[in-house]
Amino acid sequence: MAEKISKYEYVKQSIQKKIADHEWKGNQVIPSENKLCEYYQVSRITIRRAMDELVHEGVLYRIKGKGCFVREKETDKLSHIYSFTEAILLQGKQPSKQQISFSKEPAGTEIAAKMGLTPTDEIYKIKCLYLADQLPYCVNTSLLPTYMFPKLEFFDFNKNSLYEILKTFYKLSMTRVQQTITAELGNTAINTLLNNTEKKPLLKINAVSECLYQNNEQVFELYESYILTDILSYTVEKYNI
């Protein structure tokens, strides 16, 4: 006799089958909890438990105020994207960092829209200069919502990695980073920090970083980097599988 499974396990397996059969596709919003309750004739608690497990397993993701979505499976995987520090170490150079500024300020309309905040919500603004063998090669500015990372101002970013702090002290689990990479001429302030007296074109990276926060996928950082490419080249290896 086949072993009887619980109601939430049945719902979970049914949702997984709908995804596997492409009935529900990547980045598609799935029916609301109320509709799933009606469809499966089970309680909201049962539906929530099944969905919570699928979110935790990376099958689904939530966006606050919009619902639950199917996580798209990547057909192209990046084998490795080196961090700035890793890339410098691979070149046999000594990485270091200087914190230029740290402030709290209102998000404003544009940033708030990107981070799911209100314009008056506060964000941290952290600007750092990265060096290789004491030569500057990158200026990075990170924006983070203060409500997610209380007391972040007490950390010394001259010595500590932002991501190590977020992972270790705030238990952050990064899920996705979307980068836009362009070549641009830096402004006077950026060129001065990088000692770019010849005003060479810089590699500019604008990124949106997301994490799981209270079982919802949430933007936790916007960052902008200007990179002097004669010291650091940005390499991504990509394989089709």
pLDDT digits (tens, 9 = 90+) for 132-177: 888 899 999 999 999 999 999 998 888 788 888 888 888 887 777 8
Query: Do residues 183 and 199 touch, judged by C-beta distance below 8 A?
Result: no
Which 8-state DSSP code applies to residue 162?
Answer: H
pTM assigned to the model: 0.65
What domains sit in the chain, N to C, each tagged with a CATH number?
Answer: 7-70 (1.10.10.10), 77-240 (3.40.1410.10)
Is pLDDT above 60 for 55?
yes
Q: What is the pLDDT of residues 63-80, one digit of tens each?
A: 877 888 888 764 434 334
Q: How far is CA 222 from the centre of its chain?
A: 8
- Would strands 67-70 and 236-240 be described as parallel, antiparallel, or unpaired? unpaired
Q: What is the pLDDT of residues 172-190, one digit of tens each?
A: 877 778 888 888 888 899 9
The torsion angles phi and psi of 16, rounded to 5 degrees, stand at: -60, -40
Q: What is the pLDDT of residues 86-133, one digit of tens each?
A: 677 777 778 888 999 999 999 999 999 988 899 999 999 999 999 888
Burial of 163 (0-12, 13-18, 19+ CB in 10 A): middle
Alpha-carbon span 201 to 218, nearest angstrom: 33
- The three state secondary structure string of 68-120 is EEECCCCCEEEEEECCHHHHHHHCCCCEEEEEEEEEEEECHHHHHHHHCCCCC
Q: What is the pLDDT of residues 32-46, one digit of tens each?
A: 999 999 999 999 999
Average pLDDT, the chain: 83
Q: Report which of 221, 225, 224, 223 is spatially closest to residue 117, judged by C-alpha positions.
A: 221
Is pLDDT above 50 for 241?
no
